[in-house]
Amino acid sequence: MTHIISLTITLSLLWLGLSGHVEPLMLAIGVASVFLVLFITLRMEAVDHTRYPIHFTSSLFRFWRYLVREIILSNIDVIRRILTPGKSISPQMITLPLPQKSDLAKVMYANAITLTPGTVSVQLDRDTIMVHALSKEAADALETGEMASRVPDDEASS
Amino acid sequence: MILEMLSWVFLVAGGLLGIIGGIGIHRFPDFFSRLHAAGITDTLCAALILSGLGLQSGFSLVSFKLVLIFAFILFTSPTASHALANAALHGGVKPQLDD
């Protein structure tokens, strides 16, 4: 039930933000479309907490703050490597363990790896992940497992 | 005035990062390392340009849409990069590794 309510609120705010109309006719059409989307989503039985994770919002924001810092730092590192003349890269292919329990957390970890320039997740298996890193340093930083431990994991749906 | 200058600093820096990303795509030797250079244009370049545009538009519906664009880029670009890298691996592209 909480999921349905918060999905309704999110959809309504999204519609209002994207259209900006407040005339009665447009609002009525907006409400109708929100309910249509809600109806289709419920029929698809797509309202569960994997697709719509409201249960770890606060740890998610903490993770995002960490991720933004990592993205900026690794951007600077890759930019330096691009602008350094001569051979500046040492590509590595490494396999890392996936300590996360839920599938959602695994996907978030893989996406976080790809989102930071210098590392790209190449293949995701049940409990390992294959990563291509642009430099030895980037590979070593991932191998410390710091980023893995920061991904918010869902204890309940292991 | 200060906002105007700050927004142009962001826009120009974002544009420069786009060019640097392009240089990187040409400089790096193989497919996988080029993916990393493209990652710059996906993340910091897009963020800087969008925040520059957001400062131009001020606090309005336009800036809300810019935030949404950024959120969508943030969710889709790693998925696309991963799909590309995975497809390349399965297609038999051998990465040039350095041990």
Same domain, A64 and A38: no
Is A49 contained in some domain? no
Chain B residues near residue A93 by CB distance under 8 angstroms: 95, 97
With CB atoms and an 8 Å threshold, state whether B37 touches A132: no
Per residue of chain B (99 residues), give pLDDT as tens: 888 899 999 999 999 999 999 998 998 888 888 888 888 888 899 999 999 999 988 888 888 889 899 889 988 998 999 999 999 988 988 888 776
Same domain, A144 and A67: yes
Same domain, A78 and A110: yes
A73 vs B: CB within 8 A: no
Digit-coded pLDDT (tens) for B74-83: 889 989 999 9
Same domain, A28 and A71: no
- Domain range for A107 is 57-150
With CB atoms and an 8 Å threshold, state whether A82 touches B24: yes
Same domain, A17 and A39: yes
CB contact at 8 A, A151 and A109: yes
Each as own residue / partner, the long-range contacts of residues A143-147 (CB below 8 Å, 24 or more positions apart, any chain) are A143/A94, A143/A96, A145/A96, A145/A99, A147/A70, A147/A109, A147/A112, A147/A113
Report the residue of chain B nearest A132, measured CA to CA: B32
Same domain, A30 and A62: no
Task: Report the residue from A83, A110, A117 with minimal CB separation from B82.
Answer: A110
Same domain, A72 and A110: yes
Say how far apart CA B11 and CA B26 lie, in whole Å: 23
Same domain, A68 and A139: yes
With CB atoms and an 8 Å threshold, state whether A120 touches B81: yes
- Sign of the Cα torsion B53, B59, B60, B61 reads positive
Per residue of chain A (158 residues), give pLDDT as tens: 777 888 888 889 889 888 888 888 999 999 999 999 999 988 887 666 555 556 667 788 888 899 999 999 999 998 988 888 888 888 888 898 888 888 888 888 898 999 888 889 998 888 889 999 888 888 888 888 888 888 887 654 43
Is A51 contained in some domain? no
Report the residue of chain A nearest B38, measured CA to CA: A117
With CB atoms and an 8 Å threshold, state whether B44 touches A71: yes
Torsion angle of alpha carbons A56, A113, B17, B28, nearest 10°?
Answer: -170
Same domain, A22 and A88: no
With CB atoms and an 8 Å threshold, state whether A82 touches B23: yes
Task: Report the residue from B43, B85, B86 with minimal CB separation from A75.
Answer: B43
Report the pLDDT value the prediction gives residue A157, as an integer from 0 to 100: 41
CB contact at 8 A, B44 and B6: no
Digit-coded pLDDT (tens) for A55-71: 667 788 888 899 999 99
- Number of domains, chain A: 2
